[in-house]
Structure formats: C-alpha cells, structure tokens
C-alpha cells in the first residue's frame, strides 16, 4: 500500500529564513510526487510536481528515490507562503489515477 | 471561469438525518472526484467518475454513502443516515481525461463542511 508521511504538523520560520517541508513516501512502484497548497480561505491547489522539475513561487522539490523523499524547499520564506502544504503520491503506471495525500504541514512565516 | 463549484458550503444536521452535497466540475472535465477530509488529515478519495461511470468506488462506504453523476457533468454525494463520525469536509475535484502516461491536474472545489450533531 502506498503511504505519504509528513512528519511535521506545524513549521514556523522567520521571514527570510530557509524553509524545508519534509515528505517521505512508501511505495513499491514508480511514483509521481506532488505538492499541493491551501492558503487561508482558498481552495486546495497544485503547487508543483516532480516530473516538471520546475520552481513555483520560489519553491523546489527533488525526488530522492534512495531516501524515498520529496522535500519542499525555499531559500527565503515570505509571509505570503504561510499556508497548509500537502504532499501527494500517484502511481505513474498506466490506468492509475488515485492520489494519496499526507496529513499536511502548516507553515507559518513570522514577520 | 468559476472553477469547481460546490454547494452547500456548510451543513449542520442531526445524526441519522440524510444529507446531500452537489458538485459542478469545470466545463469539459471528464473526470470527477469526491474526497473526504477529516480534521488534521489529507484528502482521501471516496469515488472517481469518468463521465457518468463510477470507475473507482472501492473506498466509498456503500452502506450509507451513495453518489451519482447521471449526465456526466454535475454530481451528487449523499449520506443516509449520517453518523457523528461523518463530520468532515467533503471535497470535489475535476480534471481533464487522464492519459496512460500523463497527469492531468486535479482542480479542487471549496468543499462542503459537514457537522453532524
């Protein structure tokens, strides 16, 4: 069974400090990993996916298959980054659609 | 574009009462998902539709939950009767048709927050 673990329920950092939101996964196949974000009073939305290897709003995430991790990083946190962040996993195999979400980490950026 | 629309946004009912949630996906999106999100947890898939067909309902508690998407557009999720443990946020999401080797982003609605007293 696939599982996503986000060990921190809450992460508080000062503005301008580096941020790392941890995500570990358990899956025997070839996974696709995603980060979703939910800002206050807004709906859940996709932040980035590992296959795109992109940087969104200054955030990056690298899939480390050896450590089964997909940590989200940003070098300098901004107040507008305060939100709930969810890591999610999907089987990349044909015909697979189910997203498995972690429990989420609440990021609070202190001015 | 309004995005995925859900109603009601909030619902408070007494246990053993029925309740229904409605979702209208983004126009043209063939795939529709219903998720359950308990407090402090991530979303968990209940059911997935491809057009009007429920292609994955393995995690839907069928003794009290039902869903339909009769014309392949909007969808209704029903609970009858509701129990205290059903208090949660019910999310609807939609995406264009998935391909075998590609991922189509899921767009989420605002959710319906259900409180069962």
pLDDT in tens, A92-105: 665 667 789 999 99
Q: Is the pLDDT of residue B1 over 70?
A: no
Q: Residue B86 in 3-state DSSP? A: helix
Average pLDDT over chain B, rounded to whole? Answer: 92
Inter-chain residue contact A97 with B40, CB threshold 8 Å: no
A44, A46, A97: residue with CB nearest B48: A97
Average pLDDT over chain A, rounded to whole? Answer: 91
- Percent above pLDDT 90 for chain B: 77
Read off the pLDDT of each residue in B19-24 and give the average, rounded to a whole number: 98
Give the mutation candidate from A34, A43, A86, A100 for the B interface (greatest B CB count, under 10 A): A43
CA distances from A88 to A103, B21, B96 (A): 10, 25, 19
| pLDDT score at B101 | 46
| pLDDT score at B102 | 54
Inter-chain residue contact B108 with A101, CB threshold 8 Å: no
Contacts of residue A88 in chain B, CB cutoff 8 Å?
A: 42
Phi, psi angle pair for B72, to nearest 5°: 75, 15
| pLDDT score at A94 | 56
| pLDDT score at B86 | 97
Read off the pLDDT of each residue in A10-27 and give the average, rounded to a whole number: 96
- Rounded distance between C-alpha atoms, residue B25 and residue B31, angstroms: 9
Q: What is the DSSP letter of B98?
A: P
Read off the pLDDT of each residue in A78-99 and give the average, rounded to a whole number: 85
CA nearest neighbour of A26 among A62, A8, A2, A49: A2
- Cβ pair A77, A109 in contact under 8 A: yes
| pLDDT score at A52 | 79
Q: Which helix (H) or strand (E) holds A91?
A: strand A83-91
| pLDDT score at A93 | 65
Ranges A7-21, A29-43, A88-102: which has the least confidence? A88-102
Contacts of residue A101 in chain B, CB cutoff 8 Å?
A: 42-44
Q: Is the pLDDT of residue A80 over 90?
A: yes
Inter-chain residue contact B100 with A95, CB threshold 8 Å: yes
| pLDDT score at B97 | 72
Residues B48-101: pLDDT tens digits? 998 999 988 888 999 999 999 988 899 999 999 999 999 999 999 998 875 554
């Amino acid at each position: 069974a696939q599982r996503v673990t986000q060990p921190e329920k809450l992460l508080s950092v000062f503005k301008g400090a580096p941020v790392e939101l941890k995500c570990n996964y358990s899956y025997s196949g070839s996974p696709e990993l995603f980060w979703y974000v939910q800002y206050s009073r807004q709906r859940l939305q996709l932040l980035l996916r590992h296959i795109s290897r992109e940087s969104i709003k200054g955030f990056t995430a690298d899939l480390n298959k050896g450590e089964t991790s997909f940590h989200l990083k940003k070098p300098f946190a901004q107040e507008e980054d305060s939100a709930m962040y969810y890591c999610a996993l999907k089987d990349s195999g044909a015909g697979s659609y189910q997203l498995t979400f972690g429990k989420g980490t609440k990021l609070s950026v202190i001015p | 574009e309004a995005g995925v629309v859900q109603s009601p946004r909030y619902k408070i009912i007494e246990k053993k009462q029925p309740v229904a949630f409605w979702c209208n996906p983004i126009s043209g999106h063939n795939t529709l998902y219903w998720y359950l999100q308990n407090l402090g947890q991530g979303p968990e898939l209940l059911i997935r539709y491809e057009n009007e067909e429920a292609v994955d309902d393995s995690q839907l508690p069928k003794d009290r939950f039902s869903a339909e998407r009769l014309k392949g557009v909007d969808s209704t999720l029903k609970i009858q009767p509701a129990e205290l443990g059903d208090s949660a946020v019910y999310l609807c999401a939609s995406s264009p048709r998935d391909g075998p080797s590609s991922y189509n982003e899921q767009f989420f609605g605002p959710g319906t927050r259900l409180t069962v007293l």
